[in-house]
Amino acid sequence: MPFIPHTEQEIAEMLEAIGIEDTDALFEEIPPHLRTAGLEGVPPGLTEMEVSRLMHKRAAQNKDAVCFIGAGAYEHHIPAAVWQLATRGEYYTAYTPYQAEASQGTLQLTYEYQSMITALTDMDVSNASLYDGASALAEAILMAVRGNRKSKTRRILLPRNVHPAYRRTAETIVGGQNIELVEVDYDRASGTVQLDALQQAAGDDITAVVIQQPSFFGTLEDVDAITDWAHERNALMISITNPLSIAVLKPPGQWGSKGADIACGDGQPLGAPLSCGGPYYGFLCCAQALVRQMPGRIVGRTTDVDGREGFVLTLQAREQHIRRSKATSNICTNQGLVVTASTIHMAILGPRGLENTAAACHANTRRLVEQLTGIDGVRRAFSSAEFHESVLLLDRPVNQVLESLAANNILGGYDLGADYPELGNALLVCATELRTEDEIAAYRGALQEALDVKTLQKEIA
């Protein structure tokens, strides 16, 4: 019987101590007619060898291909030490650090995480993580509504070039709480948000403005001007950033003259493998003035009775287990293990490692775009500066092109057709530091083939 250590002898002793004949008696309070006969639909148990064989087979069924997809999840090199350390039993099987004295490992590591992420974002404080970037945006919006006393309307400006899945998630989570998410369109030529579009949507009173930098398209926004504009209107500035990109791009804490008020995003690029979509983690940082509005766990440094340095969960009074219906959020479990890995990742790479990686991503994407736009029928969609990702317009339907590329073992990018039909045949591409010159050349060759007139004619015939 897997993972249950009891011997027959022990079971007998325990039953005797309880004063019952068999274990059935333990369930006598359950109405008998409600008892399940058995879980018929669950297959019989497998041995470790059998399940291993099964999982190897399943893993092999996921096609292995060279990845040029970004769109919110990025393939980076993760140092071997990161997950070896993160999956140590002491981290992997520890619980939430409620008994602080017995959890100084996790607590100190989390404090170091908070220190590193605030350094990267150049913000005052951070929490210990939320579920992912999308839900972090939702929490940032709720935080802005709670924290902005000067605004009454609960209206949030949310540009269309913010990640579509983030916007949909925010709608799901904040809907029903009397908050209006106001859509602001992007400028078609530059792929960025313009001040006059924001101005028009703002009306008399807005609570917060959300800007993603780089945008979902990879384009670079004028973050200083927009941040100052938001602050002039007594609105809070919420930033969404790729935390790797801000190793080289201006961090939210330095946007405009006062910096962003709330910074969020997904920590995946810092040490979390793609892993079919998760687990990743959402980071949430804010200005000191908003710290009590911040949801989730927060670790603070303090001392013990002997004056020794130690770490505890703090500001718990805002959390669900104390405040209950008036809590800042219902969040409990967060993404502890992924944060553990991410902290180790940041420590091993250091500022220079992260900078060089981020710059390499930018350079590789630039090279990819140069190579691909050299093909007839491929051009850049937007005129503005870009970082790490780019939107290309094609002369053929994107899904057909992607099929063709996949047949050559290339995952070419993300089809924007469903979310941005106005762009036509638009493909979001990304080349991280892992993509080699050979791989980029192979992509170019395969794309050329996919767009070839001959191939097109063949299909029409």
Our CB check for another protein shows the closer of 304 and 437 to be: 304
Of 303, 422, 459, 461, which lies in the binding site for another protein, with binding defined by CB under 8 A? 303
Is residue 181 near another protein by the rule CB under 8 A? Answer: no
Q: Which is nearer to another protein, 134 or 157 (CB)?
A: 134
Under the criterion CB under 8 A, does residue 461 sit at the interface with another protein? no
- Binding flag, residue 380, another protein (CB under 8 A): no
Residue type, 9: Q
Q: Which of 308, 422, 438, 460 binds another protein (CB under 8 A)?
A: 308
Residues 384 and 372: their CA atoms lie apart, in Å, by 18
Q: Examine residue 451 and tell whether it contacts another protein (CB under 8 A).
A: no
Question: How many angstroms separate the CA atoms of 283 and 70, rounded?
Answer: 19
* Span interacting with another protein, options 70-78, 201-209, 233-241, 444-452, rule CB under 8 A: 70-78
Residue 257 is a binding residue for another protein (CB under 8 A):
no
221 contacts: CB under 8 Å, gap ≥ 6: 192, 193, 211, 212, 213, 214, 215
Please identify, using beta-carbon distances, which residue of 202 and 435 lies nearer to another protein: 435
Note whether 238 binds another protein by CB under 8 A.
no
d(CA 69, CA 385): 19
Q: Is 112 among the residues that bind another protein (CB under 8 A)?
A: yes
381 contributes a contact to another protein by CB under 8 A: no
- Count Cβ atoms below 10 Å from residue 397 Cβ, excluding itself: 13
In order of 80, 136, 229, 322, the CA distances from 238 in angstroms are: 34, 11, 13, 28
SS3 322: helix
Give the separation between CA 190 and CA 210, rounded to whole angstroms: 18
From candidates 181, 182, 197, 327, binder to another protein by CB under 8 A: 327
Q: Which is nearer to another protein, 155 or 433 (CB)?
A: 433
From candidates 262, 297, 368, 393, binder to another protein by CB under 8 A: 297
Q: Which of 255, 331, 365, 285 is nearest to 116 (CA)?
A: 285
Of the residues 194, 239, 357, 371, which one makes contact with another protein according to CB under 8 A: 357
Q: Would you count residue 165 as binding another protein (CB under 8 A)? A: yes
Task: Tell which one of 144, 238, 240, 337 touches another protein (CB under 8 A).
Answer: 337
Residue position matching structure tokens 């350094």: 119
User: What distance in Å separates the CA atoms of residue 50 and residue 54, rounded to the nearest whole number?
Assistant: 6
Q: What residues numbered 10-29 form the site for another protein, per CB under 8 A?
A: 10-11, 13-15, 17-19, 23, 26-29
Contact 147, 290 (CB under 8 A): yes
Stretch in the footprint of another protein (CB under 8 A) among 151-159, 335-343, 373-381, 452-460: 335-343
Q: Residue 421 interacts with another protein (CB under 8 A)? A: no
Q: Give CA–CA dist 351/325, Å, rounded.
A: 41
> Is residue 159 part of the contact set for another protein (CB under 8 A)?
no
Q: With CB under 8 A as the contact rule, which of the stretches 1-9, 202-210, 375-383, 445-453 interacts with another protein? A: 1-9
Decide: is 274 part of the binding site for another protein (CB under 8 A).
yes
Query: Pick from 98, 189, 234, 289: which binds another protein (CB under 8 A)?
Result: 98
The CA distance from 338 to 412, in Å, is: 28
Residue 446 CB, nearest approach to another protein (Å): 16
421 φ/ψ angles, rounded to the nearest 5 degrees: -60, -25
Among 241, 329, 342, 390, contact with another protein (rule: CB under 8 A)? 329
How far is the C-alpha of 28 from the C-alpha of 15, rounded, in Å? 14
CA Rg, the chain, in Å?
Answer: 26
Site string for another protein, 277-296 (x = CB under 8 A): xxxxx---------xx----
Q: Is residue 65 part of the contact set for another protein (CB under 8 A)? A: yes
Q: Which residue has the tokens 């995480």?
A: 113
Phi and psi at 410, nearest 5°, equal -125, 125
Q: How far apart are CA 448 and CA 378, in angstroms?
A: 9
* Strand 262-266, strand 282-286: pairing: antiparallel
Nearest to another protein of 202, 386 (CB atom): 386
Is residue 354 close enough to count as binding another protein by CB under 8 A?
A: yes
Closer by beta carbon to another protein, 57 or else 454:
57
Out of 182, 190, 205, 353, point to the residue binding another protein (CB under 8 A): 353
